[in-house]
Structure 1
Amino acid sequence: MTSRMPKLPRSVLPALRLPALRLPAVRPPAFTGRLHDARTATSVGRWLGAAFAVCFVTGIVSHYLQHPPDRLADHLPTRPVWGYRLTQGLHVATGLAAIVLLLVKLWAVYPRLFVWPPVRSVRHALERLSVAVLVASALFQVFTGLLNIAEWYPWPFSFVPVHFAVAWIATGSILLHIAVKAPEIRAHWGRRSEGTLALPAEDAVDRRSLLLGTGAAVGLVTLTTVGQSFTPLKRVDLLAPRHPDHGPQGLPVNRTAAAAGVSERGLRAWRLQVTGPRPYALTLEQLRGLPQRRVRLPIACVEGWSVDAHWEGVRVRDLVEAAGGRPGRDAVRVTSLEVSGAYRVMEMGAGYVEDPLTLVALALNGQALSLDHGFPARIIAPDRPGVLQTKWVHRLEVL
């Protein structure tokens, strides 16, 4: 048998109704300290904007030296010989400093993420979208750049073209942000910000302390990394991924012979092939029998390290002339013995071919090239990225 629950009179039912639940109103967190205000953001933003401007300009220089348009390839400057060393050293140094500045800038403005309502109008939505693009592109640039100098690539895309493309996006976003915020930037550029609340005077002291701490952090990062390119500070080069004196024959090596698939066994029948109107081939002993030129040139890597060294070898212009080429008018295609790589084949414009400092180098710092430094022969040229100073050269083709 089943028992049925007795029916209750309707007059009793209202008394059993549950009271309506009232949820507390969701309110965004309140931030009232001056360290999260426009004055602090503007102060840090001035430094950050300058760092990004230097990175952008020097990055353009680096990109077009590595991948010059056809109309510029024969007219790239070879002087000053340390030009690329300076621009790329600045690029990496300011990029590392920008990491500190960007993090402090984001800390100063992050309360704006909690603005409520999140979108107030179409104009406000577009402004927030532009800020999102700015933050995303800036973070992408500094942290992919950091991983690049450490030679760690945990992504599926090619770093150079993507980094170059996003640089334009970041720069455009910065310019748009400055244009939108120009009145606010002007208001807080050179005077104390006007708060709506009576805030304690100690906040001004805290802001100065924050800015001094930020400057000290930037200085520390720069001091402990810039020695990889500015060798007078190499003794305090503690945080940089490269030390300018560490490596075979006193120079760092990015790509070893083993990584390039080059071995001594494969070099037994090596010849330097020079093609042109009068093609010819030279053994290593024949190359050493030609007039040798000794030069002091820096080798500067895109990862930021650079160092001067003494190189000895045969001028490229002499080899081109012997093949019937015209230095100053003909470019040269250089092919390496390495099995694969983005720079296995490199083209050198007529300006580099003509320069008397451009060598097929056979010796480094008074010794024959080690295998990791490109034995039996490599290219060394002034004001040129290290990735284009081709190692394990076996073919020069006059174009």
Structure 2
Amino acid sequence: MKLRVSPPVFGGRLHDARTATSIGRWLGVCFLVCFATGLVSHVMQHPPDLLANRLPSRPVRGYRLTQGLHVAFGIGAIPLLLAKLWTVYPRLFEWPAVRSVRHALERLSVAVLVAGAVFEPVSGLLNTVQWYPWPFSFVPVHYAVAWLVAGALVLHLAVKAPEIGAHWHRRSPGTLALPARDGTDRRSLLAAVGAAVGAVTLTTVGQSFTPLKDLILFAPRDPDHGPQSLPVNRTAEAAGVGRIADEEYRLVVDGPRPYALTLDELRGLPQHDVELPIACVEGWSRSAHWTGVRIMDLLQRAGAPPHARVRVVALEQRGGYRVSEMGHTHAHDPLTLLALRLNGEELDPDHGYPARLIAPNRPGALQTKWVGRLEVLS
């Protein structure tokens, strides 16, 4: 005797399109902010040739703001995504699986959208704690999947536009009035989801918005913890650098008039003070007081053309960010320093002793530590 297995049957008004649309509006805002700020971060770290020499160095705290928003909205999207999936999961078991071409497109867009929407915040959250339990490189895959999610979302919105429009407003024309109990249940659900979003945001956003740092419970970085009260992602030991002896250090500036400087000679040059943040892709940021030699002065001494780009090379022998490049807007900004001191003290080895780059509106991964060479690029 052949047994027939029937698909599960779900009930409850909170699994309806009205609830899904209400949560979807908030989730859409989070995804839009994350996509826009993620695009900014990607361009800042991997600029296309057209923009390589034109990335702006102002506003000074621009990257701190955009990346802080990216991580905050990404974390806030997690309870929204869970709530959204809870409201729509009965539809994943609809039968027959495909009823028409339009329905097939809808199901395909949903499958890609759900997979990508789960992958993006989960992988981003794991990136904030620098845990990578996968064999691929996080940055290019995270970026590629973001575009995949964006395309699937556009397709999904196009297919579901009539239904979304019918339930967009609280009292849309043509929709049935809800019984009082159902209306109360929906408001309670939405209030609980909003409270969850607020809770995870308040307990993590202090890693970049320092006025709320005392509320940090779950953020992977405390902006006050670290050598010289500044966090680090990569220590001198992890980079294989250790502490570099003063007498062995040389800064090589390779340009039309190349030269080299000892550490004492660097210290003897005019020193400048700036207040700039370190803002990392993991979402944490912290402003600090830096003292050092302006990059523009070092380049002028080497005879660099006004619009030349600069390659900054660290003394570490390996690592994805041991080499970075700056366009002329950053290289010739008077706030861009080869820093020798942090908060009035000699740099700690974990902060790049004896010299590191610090520049405005620049990702922390590109604020190269243990700088040993500056190369003028034509």
With the shorter chain as reference, the TM-score category is over 0.9
Alignment check: 8 A CA contact 1:272 1:395 kept: yes
Matching of residue 89 in structure 1 with residue 68 in structure 2: yes
The alpha-carbon deviation at position 268 of structure 1 amounts to: 4.7
TM-score of the pair, normalised by structure 1: 0.91
Matching of residue 33 in structure 1 with residue 12 in structure 2: yes
Question: What is the CA–CA distance in structure 1 between the aligned matches of 2:25 and 2:100, rounded to whole Å?
Answer: 29
Aligned equivalent of 1:317, options 271, 278, 296? 296
Matching of residue 224 in structure 1 with residue 167 in structure 2: no
Question: What is the CA–CA distance in structure 2 between the aligned matches of 1:170 and 1:267, rounded to whole Å?
Answer: 51
Matching of residue 380 in structure 1 with residue 376 in structure 2: no
Give 1:73's aligned amino acid. A
Question: What is the CA–CA distance in structure 2 between the aligned matches of 1:122 and 1:353, rounded to whole Å?
Answer: 55
Give 1:346's aligned amino acid. S
Matching of residue 184 in structure 1 with residue 163 in structure 2: yes
Structure 1: segments with no counterpart, 5+ residues: 1-20
Question: What is the CA–CA distance in structure 1 between the aligned matches of 2:10 and 2:170, rounded to whole Å?
Answer: 21
Give 1:64's aligned amino acid. V
Question: What is the CA–CA distance in structure 1 between the aligned matches of 2:244 and 2:334, rounded to whole Å?
Answer: 33
1:291 equivalent in structure 2: 270
The alpha-carbon deviation at position 87 of structure 1 amounts to: 0.2
Aligned equivalent of 1:344, options 322, 330, 334? 322
Alignment CA distance shift 1:284-1:234 (3 Å): same
The alpha-carbon deviation at position 201 of structure 1 amounts to: 3.0
TM-score of the pair, normalised by structure 2: 0.96
The alpha-carbon deviation at position 339 of structure 1 amounts to: 2.0
Question: What is the CA–CA distance in structure 2 between the aligned matches of 1:338 and 1:250, rounded to whole Å?
Answer: 24
Q: Secondary structure of 1:361's partner?
A: strand
| Bigger radius of gyration among the two | 1
Question: What is the CA–CA distance in structure 2 between the aligned matches of 1:35 and 1:181, rounded to whole Å?
Answer: 18
Alignment CA distance shift 1:318-1:22 (3 Å): closer
The alpha-carbon deviation at position 202 of structure 1 amounts to: 1.1
2:38 equivalent in structure 1: 59
Alignment CA distance shift 1:86-1:55 (3 Å): same
Question: What is the CA–CA distance in structure 2 between the aligned matches of 1:261 and 1:22, rounded to whole Å?
Answer: 66
2:311 equivalent in structure 1: 333
Matching of residue 394 in structure 1 with residue 368 in structure 2: no
1:223-247 CA distances to partner (integer Å, 9 max, x unpaired)?
Answer: 0000000000000011100010000
Alignment CA distance shift 1:79-1:22 (3 Å): closer
RMSD of aligned residue pairs (Cα, Å): 1.6
Question: What is the CA–CA distance in structure 1 between the aligned matches of 2:123 and 2:280, rounded to whole Å?
Answer: 17
Question: What is the CA–CA distance in structure 2 between the aligned matches of 1:383 and 1:90, rounded to whole Å?
Answer: 15
Question: What is the CA–CA distance in structure 2 between the aligned matches of 1:80 and 1:246, rounded to whole Å?
Answer: 26
The alpha-carbon deviation at position 71 of structure 1 amounts to: 1.7
Identity of aligned residues (%): 70
* Paired positions, count: 376
Alignment check: 8 A CA contact 1:39 1:192 kept: no
2:333 equivalent in structure 1: 355
Q: Secondary structure of 1:257's partner?
A: coil
Question: What is the CA–CA distance in structure 2 between the aligned matches of 1:191 and 1:335, rounded to whole Å?
Answer: 57
Question: What is the CA–CA distance in structure 2 between the aligned matches of 1:22 and 1:132, rounded to whole Å?
Answer: 31
Alignment check: 8 A CA contact 1:79 1:382 kept: yes
Give 1:371's aligned amino acid. P
